[in-house]
Structure 1
Amino acid sequence: EIGKIPGLDTGFSQPIRDNVLESISQIDGQIVIKVFGDDLEQLRDLSLQVLKQVQNVPGVARAFVDRLGELPQIQVRVDRARAARYGINVADVQDVIESALGGKAVTQVWEGESRFAVAVRL
């Protein structure tokens, strides 16, 4: 029956891969349902609909909506052809954006026996 749901993309994985993904997403559980999209309001509504359905499944001990995805994000799509004309690749663009927004350690300075990172932020 699950294959009859329009737009549903299912995926099955191995325990080792699951452990790695749990450590990255900081969500643990035997089953994790991820809802993706660009409209946060619609994602909240859909997530709550899924939660209501899952809570009614016999044997479900804990069900919740994780709100980590609601953090502000900047999505940058690099026009690879234009960047290539200037000799710039995607990694270069990523480095500049990372430095500008979050800062980036570029070297280290020793003071006595202590080592300190020197960060650059634009």
Structure 2
Amino acid sequence: MNKSTKKIVIFDDDEDILSICVYILEEQDWEVHTFTNCNNIIERINDIKPDVILMDNWIPDEGGIIATQTLKKDAELQNIPVIYFSANSDIQILAEHAGADGYLAKPFDLEELDRVIGTVLVK
């Protein structure tokens, strides 16, 4: 193995968005893990230890806000950046309420996805 692969976890119940994100991010050498619900989120994230997490607002079962807050309360996982993404017009408020490190409004383009991931990885 040459350079270490960056890992990203995407929580979204929209299979189309997941497949687009997987395609884009794997092209950029990310190891992509996707989930269509946020159940057992602590165990899942502990198993993968990703560099960044993309979190949908409307993810079953608890929703993105509670899922993000759960991660941010966990001492071992709270430093993993969470990017909140949603088609909600008030996404910035939702992201702040959740305690996310950044946000991405849907629909988004490739440059925007790159930019937001880049800003949280620098932190």
- With normalisation by structure 1, the TM-score equals 0.23
- With normalisation by structure 2, the TM-score equals 0.23
Answer 1 or 2: which has greater strand percent: 2
